[in-house]
Structure 1
Amino acid sequence: MNKVCATAAEAVLDIADGSSLAVGGFGLSGVPDVLIRALYEQGATGLQVVSNNCGVDGRGLGVLLAAGRISRVTGSYVGGNKEFARQYLSGEVEVELTPQGTLAERLRAGGAGIPAFFTPAGVGTQVAEGGLPWRYTPDGDVDVASPRKESRRFNGRTYVLEHGITTDFALIRAAKADRHGNLVFHRAAANFNPLAAMAGRVAITEVEELVEPGEIRPDEVHLPGVFVQRIVVLTPAQAADKQIEKRTVRT
């Protein structure tokens, strides 16, 4: 039951080329930076990533993206990542954009063993009707477009069918863990992390604090250890290295 790995490098060692990854984080909040950098050093390529966004230039998943290690992204938005936008528009990476709430539920559903569900989000748009560009050609034409999705009416309202997501691995970050893998997240850093862990067949978490089993009260657990397979304990410097995506101050 001791799920602690000696190093981040050991934890990501068996992530192979072409693996699918669910990655937690929102912007730069709750991003598993240490695991991402360990995966960068490990060298796996052709990765298929499911994450709210793809980091920023030089941080988070942006590190793997800039190195050409990501072949496909399922996410909610491109954001301010200029390299992500460039690779998408030049046809270097395939991108499936999906409504943010739908993405969260697809991850949760996959982790709960639910293959698909109906939602009103996206009805009447290209999300449901198809035609969203997934991949461009180098000259700017649409090479691969999203397919039309099944829709049904319930109680007089139209809903679209979305499929649950499961991945080979998940990379997440938590504030606290015990050796059994029970996790506690800190405020907004929870974001997509619990859902990504549920969707991954092998969930790897970096944590700021490790405690012994029993020190986390049952009603304080945000994600049960059944969803977590490997734990990497951060150094104090790594735990304190938290970047702010857009800093604003009063005049």
Structure 2
Amino acid sequence: MDKVVATTAEAVSDVTDGSSLAVGGFGLCGIPQALIAAVLDLGVSDLETVSNNLGVDGVGLGILLEHKRIRRTVNSYVGENKEFARQYMAGELELELTPQGTLAERLRAGGAGIPAFYTPAGVGTQVADGGLAWRYHHDGTVAVASPPKEIREFDGRAYVLERAIRTDFALVHAVKGDRHGNLVYHAAAANFNPDCAVAGRITIAQVEHLVEPGEIEPAHVHTPGIYVQRVVHVANPVKQIEKETMRT
């Protein structure tokens, strides 16, 4: 039951070329920066990532992007990362752009064993009708477009069918975790971490405070240890500010 591994390098050692990764965080809040750095050091490429966004230039998933390690990504937000936009528009990166709430539910559904669900989000747009550019050619023409999705009507309202997401690995950040893998997130750092944690076939958590089983009140557990396969202690992680504004 002791799921603790000694280092971040050991924690991600079986990530291989072509692996899919669900990665928690929102912007730079709650991102598993140490695990992302370990994946970079591992040298793997052709990765498929699922996350709200790809960090910012040079930080978070932005470091994997900068080193051309990501082949395809499922995201809800492209802003704040110039290299992300450049690679996508240049045809170097495939992007499945997904409404934010739909992305969260696709991850949650994957963890719950639900293969697909209907949602009104995106009905009447290219999200449902197809035609969104997933990948461009170098000349700017569309190389791969999103397919149309099934539409059904319930109680007089149209809904689009969305597939759940399961990934090979999930990388998450928690403020506290025990040796059994039970996790607690702090405030807004919860964001996409709980949804990513349940969607990974192998979930790896970096925790700021490692405690013994029983030290976390059961009612305070956000992600039960049954979803987590590995825990690594990362004390005092660097927490960068995405945008800093100063009063004159």
TM-score by length of 2: 0.99
Q: Which residue of 1 aligns with 2:137?
A: 137
Match of 2:246 among 209, 227, 249: 249
Distance 2:235 2:32 in 1: 13
Distance 2:220 2:70 in 1: 36
Using the aligned pairs only, state the percent identity: 68
How many Å apart are 1:80 and its aligned residue? 1.3
1:74 match: secondary structure: strand
1:245 match: secondary structure: coil
Counterpart of 1:11, as a letter, is A
For residues 110-140 of structure 1, what are the alpha-carbon distances to aligned partners after superposition, in whole Å with 9 as ceiling and x for unaligned?
A: 0000000000000000000000000000010
Q: Is the 8 A contact 2:209 2:235 kept in 1?
A: no
Structure 2: gaps (5+ residues): none
Between the two proteins, the alignment pairs up a number of residues equal to 248
Counterpart of 2:244, as a letter, is R
Distance 1:26 1:248 in 2: 19
2:220 paired with 1:220: yes
Distance 1:112 1:96 in 2: 22
Distance 1:249 1:180 in 2: 43
Counterpart of 1:245, as a letter, is E
Counterpart of 2:86, as a letter, is R
Counterpart of 1:34, as a letter, is A
Q: Which residue of 2 aligns with 1:52?
A: 52
Q: Which residue of 2 aligns with 1:189?
A: 189
How many Å apart are 1:249 and its aligned residue? 3.3
1:65-144 equivalences under 5 Å are 65-144=65-144
Counterpart of 1:76, as a letter, is S
List 4+ stretches of structure 1 deviating above 6 A.
none
Counterpart of 1:250, as a letter, is R
Q: Is the 8 A contact 2:26 2:53 kept in 1?
A: yes
Q: Which residue of 2 aligns with 1:33?
A: 33
Distance 1:79 1:185 in 2: 25
For residues 59-100 of structure 1, what are the alpha-carbon distances to aligned partners after superposition, in whole Å with 9 as ceiling and x for unaligned?
A: 000000010100000010111100000000001010000000
Superposed CA RMSD in Å reads 0.7
1:30 match: secondary structure: coil
